[in-house]
Structure 1
Amino acid sequence: MRRPVVGLFFGLLGVLGVLLHRDYGLPWDEQLDRLNGIISLKYVALQLAPELARREPNFALIPDMRDNQDTDHGVIFQLPVLLLERVAGAHDSRDVYFLRHLLTFFTVLGGIYVFYRLAAQRFRSWGLGLLGAALFVLSPRLFAEAFYNYKDLVFLAFFTGGIYTLTQLIRQPSWRTTLLHAGATGAAIDVRTMGVLLLGLTFCFVGLELVYRPILRQRFVPLAILYLAVTVAVVVLGWPYLWENPGGHFLEAFQSFSRYRSDMTVQYWGEQVSVQELPWHYAPVWLLITTPVAYSLLFLTGLITLARDVLRRPAAWLRTRTGRQDLLYAAWFLGPLVAVVGLQSVIYDGWRHLYFIYPAFLLLASRGILAAWSYWRNHRLGICRSLAAGLLVFLGGGMLHAAFRIVQDHPYQNVYFSVLPGAVAERLFERDYWGLSGRQGLEWILAHDASPRVSVATDARTGLVLHNNRLLLSPTERARLVFTSPAQARYFLSVYRWHPEPYPSSIGREVYCIRAGGVKILSVFQR
Structure 2
Amino acid sequence: MSKRKKAPVGKKGPAKIRAEQPPVAEVYSPEQTALHKKIFKFSTLAILLITVLLSLFSGINGDDEFQNDYSEKLTDYYLSLGADTSALYIEKGNMHFYGGFFDLTTGLINRALGFDEFDMAYHHVRHIFNAIIGVLAMLFVGLLAREIAGWRAGILALWFIFLSPRFLGHSLMNPKDIPFAAGFAIALYYMVVLFKSMPRPSWKTALGVALGIAMALATRAGGLLLFGYLGLFAGLDFLLKYRLKGLAQERKALLTYLTYGLGIAVTGYVLAILTWPAALADPIGHPLAALTEFSKLGIKIRVLFAGENLLSDDTAWYYPVLWIVKTAPLFTLLGFLGSIFILPAILKRYNTAAILLVYFATLFPVAYIIYKNSILHDGWRHLMFIYPSMVVIAAIFWVTLERFFKSRKTIQYVIYGVLGLLAVDAVLFIVRNPQYPYVYFNPIGGGIKGAYGNYETDYWGVSVRQAIDWMEAEGILSPEMQDTVTLGTTFFYNTSRLTRKRFNGKVKVKYVRFNTRYSEAWDYGIFPSRYIRGAHLRSGNWPNSKAIHEVTANGVPLLAIEKDENKYAYLGQRAMAAGNLTEAVAQLQKEVQEHPDNEVAWTSLSSAYISTGQYQQALAAAQKALAVAPDVESALLYEGLAYLNLGQQQGALSSFERLTRVNEEYYAAYYYMGLAYEASKNYRAAFDNAQKAIEANPGFKQAYQLAARALQALGDNQNAARYLEAAQKL
SS at match of 1:479: coil
CA distance in 1, matches of 2:109, 2:176: 18
User: Aligned residues, how many?
Assistant: 497
Q: Is the 8 A contact 1:372 1:389 kept in 2?
A: no
Q: CA deviation at 1:478?
A: 5.5
Q: In the alignment, is residue 357 of structure 1 matched against residue 386 of structure 2?
A: yes
CA distance in 1, matches of 2:509, 2:372: 42
Q: In the alignment, is residue 262 of structure 1 matched against residue 299 of structure 2?
A: yes
Q: In the alignment, is residue 278 of structure 1 matched against residue 315 of structure 2?
A: yes
Choose from 532, 543, 554 the match for 1:499: 532
Counterpart amino acid of 1:71?
H
Counterpart amino acid of 1:39?
K
Q: In the alignment, is residue 456 of structure 1 matched against residue 490 of structure 2?
A: no
Task: State the partner residue of 1:348.
Answer: 377
Task: State the partner residue of 1:5.
Answer: 39
Q: CA deviation at 1:505?
A: 9.2
Q: In the alignment, is residue 46 of structure 1 matched against residue 80 of structure 2?
A: yes
Choose from 338, 363, 366 the match for 1:337: 366
TM-score (ref. length: structure 2)? 0.64
Q: In the alignment, is residue 114 of structure 1 matched against residue 114 of structure 2?
A: no
SS at match of 1:43: helix
Task: State the partner residue of 1:196.
Answer: 224
> Relative contact order (alpha carbons < 8 A, sep ≥ 6): 1 or 2 greater?
1
CA distance in 2, matches of 1:359, 1:67: 31
CA distance in 2, matches of 1:410, 1:212: 46
Q: In the alignment, is residue 141 of structure 1 matched against residue 166 of structure 2?
A: yes
CA distance in 1, matches of 2:256, 2:240: 14
Choose from 89, 110, 121 the match for 1:95: 121
SS at match of 2:453: helix
CA distance in 2, matches of 1:4, 1:393: 24
Task: State the partner residue of 2:652.
Answer: none
TM-score (ref. length: structure 1)? 0.87
SS at match of 2:531: coil
Deviations 1:311-342 (A, max 9, x none): xxxxxx5xx86122111111011111111122
Counterpart amino acid of 1:206?
A
Choose from 278, 287, 290 the match for 1:253: 290
Q: Is the 8 A contact 2:134 2:179 kept in 1?
A: yes
CA distance in 1, matches of 2:40, 2:294: 39
Q: CA deviation at 1:198?
A: 0.8
Deviates more, 1:203-212 or 1:484-493: 484-493
SS at match of 2:195: helix
Q: Is the 8 A contact 1:295 1:395 kept in 2?
A: no
CA distance in 1, matches of 2:557, 2:372: 34
CA distance in 2, matches of 1:121, 1:158: 17
CA distance in 2, matches of 1:473, 1:483: 9
Task: State the partner residue of 1:20.
Answer: 54
Q: Is the 8 A contact 1:421 1:518 kept in 2?
A: no
CA distance in 1, matches of 2:542, 2:331: 42
Q: CA deviation at 1:379?
A: 5.3
Q: CA deviation at 1:476?
A: 4.1
Q: In the alignment, is residue 392 of structure 1 matched against residue 412 of structure 2?
A: no
Choose from 212, 235, 245 the match for 1:184: 212
Q: CA deviation at 1:41?
A: 2.7
**Equivalence map 1:162-311=2 (5 Å):** 162-173=187-198, 174=201, 176=203, 177-214=205-242, 215=250, 216-306=253-343
Deviations 1:47-88 (A, max 9, x none): 36x5xx8xxxxxxxx945344541111101221222222344
Q: CA deviation at 1:89?
A: 4.4
Q: Is the 8 A contact 2:186 2:208 kept in 1?
A: no
Q: Is the 8 A contact 2:178 2:385 kept in 1?
A: yes
**Equivalence map 1:316-327=2 (5 Å):** 322-327=351-356
Q: CA deviation at 1:520?
A: 1.4
Choose from 428, 433, 439 the match for 1:404: 428
Task: State the partner residue of 2:404.
Answer: 375
Q: CA deviation at 1:179?
A: 3.6
Q: CA deviation at 1:508?
A: 5.8
Deviates more, 1:39-48 or 1:7-16: 39-48
Q: CA deviation at 1:149?
A: 0.8
Q: Is the 8 A contact 2:216 2:223 kept in 1?
A: yes
Counterpart amino acid of 1:453?
T
Q: Is the 8 A contact 2:366 2:383 kept in 1?
A: yes
CA distance in 2, matches of 1:481, 1:152: 32
Deviations 1:16-47 (A, max 9, x none): 23432221110011131122122223223333
Q: Is the 8 A contact 2:145 2:154 kept in 1?
A: yes
CA distance in 2, matches of 1:367, 1:12: 23
SS at match of 2:100: coil
Q: Is the 8 A contact 2:179 2:215 kept in 1?
A: no
Q: Is the 8 A contact 2:179 2:216 kept in 1?
A: no
Change (3 A) 1:404 1:428: same
CA distance in 2, matches of 1:495, 1:357: 29
Task: State the partner residue of 1:86.
Answer: 111
Q: CA deviation at 1:241?
A: 1.1
Q: Is the 8 A contact 1:337 1:354 kept in 2?
A: yes
Q: Is the 8 A contact 1:514 1:520 kept in 2?
A: yes
Deviates more, 1:243-252 or 1:226-235: 226-235
Change (3 A) 1:64 1:207: closer
Q: Is the 8 A contact 1:470 1:478 kept in 2?
A: no
CA distance in 1, matches of 2:346, 2:129: 42
Deviations 1:137-182 (A, max 9, x none): 1111211211111111121111111111211221224471334322
SS at match of 1:277: coil
SS at match of 1:71: helix
SS at match of 1:472: helix
Q: Is the 8 A contact 1:494 1:523 kept in 2?
A: yes
Change (3 A) 1:145 1:505: closer
Q: CA deviation at 1:309?
A: 6.0
Counterpart amino acid of 1:40?
L
Task: State the partner residue of 1:432.
Answer: 458
Q: CA deviation at 1:373?
A: 0.8
Q: Is the 8 A contact 1:94 1:474 kept in 2?
A: no
Deviations 1:371-404 (A, max 9, x none): 3212333458xxxx86x76543221122233222
Counterpart amino acid of 2:435?
P
CA distance in 1, matches of 2:67, 2:162: 26
Q: Is the 8 A contact 2:99 2:273 kept in 1?
A: no
Q: In the alignment, is residue 416 of structure 1 matched against residue 440 of structure 2?
A: yes
Q: Is the 8 A contact 1:40 1:241 kept in 2?
A: no
Choose from 69, 78, 88 the match for 1:35: 69
Task: State the partner residue of 1:313.
Answer: none
Q: CA deviation at 1:3?
A: 4.0
Q: CA deviation at 1:405?
A: 1.6
Is the radius of gyration larger for structure 1 or structure 2?
2
Counterpart amino acid of 2:104?
L
